[in-house]
């Protein structure tokens, strides 16, 4: 899901936790909405998440619509890929699920 607006690939518990801690620490009044969540099979999930928040110390609201591909093993997420191009991410997630099948 590469793009100039890529949010990143995080693999392993520490990397995923670090990303989430950094992400949430930057915002106040943080709300998110799961617009779509799909289990594509073979340990692959796809989600569209809408984030609404205010940056720490800021006045305006930030709105980010993010696609997320999750790869799961033994009941835990082991890799997360985030990006802002939802259709590109959906296609990549579907391909990954097929490849892992």
What does the pLDDT look like over 8-35, one tens digit per residue?
788 888 998 998 898 889 888 899 999 9
| Per-residue confidence (pLDDT) for residue 4, from 0 to 100 | 37
What does the pLDDT look like over 62-89, one tens digit per residue?
898 999 999 999 999 999 999 999 999 9
CA atoms of 83 and 49, how far apart (whole Å): 10
Would you say how long the chain is, in residues?
101
pTM (2 d.p.): 0.79
Q: Please determine, for residue 91, whether its predicted confidence score (pLDDT) is greater than 80.
A: yes
Read off the tokens for 100: 């892992």
């Amino acid at each position: 899901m590469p793009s100039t607006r890529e949010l990143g690939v995080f693999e392993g518990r520490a990397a995923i936790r670090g990303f989430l801690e950094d992400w949430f620490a930057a915002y106040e009044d943080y709300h998110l909405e799961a617009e779509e969540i799909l289990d594509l099979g073979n340990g692959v999930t796809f989600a569209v998440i809408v984030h609404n928040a205010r940056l720490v110390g800021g006045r305006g609201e930030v709105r980010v619509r993010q696609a997320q591909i999750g790869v799961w093993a033994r009941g835990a997420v082991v890799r997360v890929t985030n990006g802002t191009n939802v259709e590109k991410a959906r296609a990549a997630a579907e391909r990954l699920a097929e490849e892992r099948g």
